[in-house]
Amino acid sequence: QQFLNLVGITEKQVNEAKDLQVINECKILKGTEYKRKFKEKIKYFYAPNLEIICEDQWRGCTSLVRVYCPKIKKVNYGAFFYCDKIVDFDLPLLEYADTHSFTRCDSIKRFYFPSLLQAIMSFYICSNLEQFIAPKLREMKGGCFSGCKKLKMVNAPNLQAVDKSVFRECQNLKIVVAPSVVKVECDCKRCPMCTGFTTEMPFVKEIKGQKSTFKQSMLKLEFNVRYQGQATDSIVQL
């Protein structure tokens, strides 16, 4: 209902509309899957029944501003590649984001995916992205956020593994909240994971294939993480 109010459409209009009909610059999709690619200059897509987003489905739709797809669990390769005007995604059930699925979504400042579990090089060069929140995310692969130069914060409390180059060129990234991480292969040399671990990642066991050394006491957890021959010490108050 919130989406419909935003674009100025009533539920009655949606119910009476034909599949693929356009109302107030919003295309109504009533099907569960479409093999075609949407290339027309449409600002909004309302797809309450859509279950599958195919490869390159909206690739290069530079007029697209918002989409409503509440049943989607997987976004396939390049689905929103270079949708540089889009400002919001309503994908509450999304679990898997494939390669380049959100690459160059340059107007997005904040991603929030409450159900996302895995992302593979999915948010490459989102040039204005500042915050990323995914409470169920477990794994990041490839250059997931590579080139996101304005990224400041990543909140992924269930994240367990970080692949290499995930945060390459994210020079403004200051906060990574990931208390469940046990393996890091990032090699950007700039992000919090590479420059020193803090309270956000107290259980890291491995970085770049090298095991960390741990010393525990009742008051503090001290651990030394070796990165390319240099030791980084962090103190965490328990």
Tell me the per-residue pLDDT of 34-50, one tens digit each, with 9 for 90 and over: 998 998 889 999 999 99
Q: What is the pLDDT of residue 219?
A: 23
Task: Report residue 17's pLDDT band, with 50, 70 and 90 as the boundaries.
Answer: very high
Rounded Cα gap, residues 224 and 211, in angstroms: 10
Q: Which two tokens stand for residue 109?
A: 């400042």
Percent of the chain with pLDDT over 90: 61
Q: What is the pLDDT of residue 48?
A: 96
Render pLDDT for 202-225 as a digit per residue (tens, 0 to 9). 544 444 443 433 332 222 222 233
Read off the pLDDT of each residue in 131-153 and give the average, rounded to a whole number: 93
Supply the mean pLDDT for the chain: 82
Terminal Cα distance for the chain, rounded:
45
Helices in the chain by DSSP H: which ranges?
2-7, 11-16, 192-195
Rounded Cα gap, residues 69 and 19, in angstroms: 15
Q: What is the pLDDT of residue 196?
A: 60
Higher pLDDT, 201 or 43: 43
Render pLDDT for 85-99 as a digit per residue (tens, 0 to 9). 999 888 999 999 999
Please identify which residue in the block is written with the tokens 């292969």.
Answer: 185
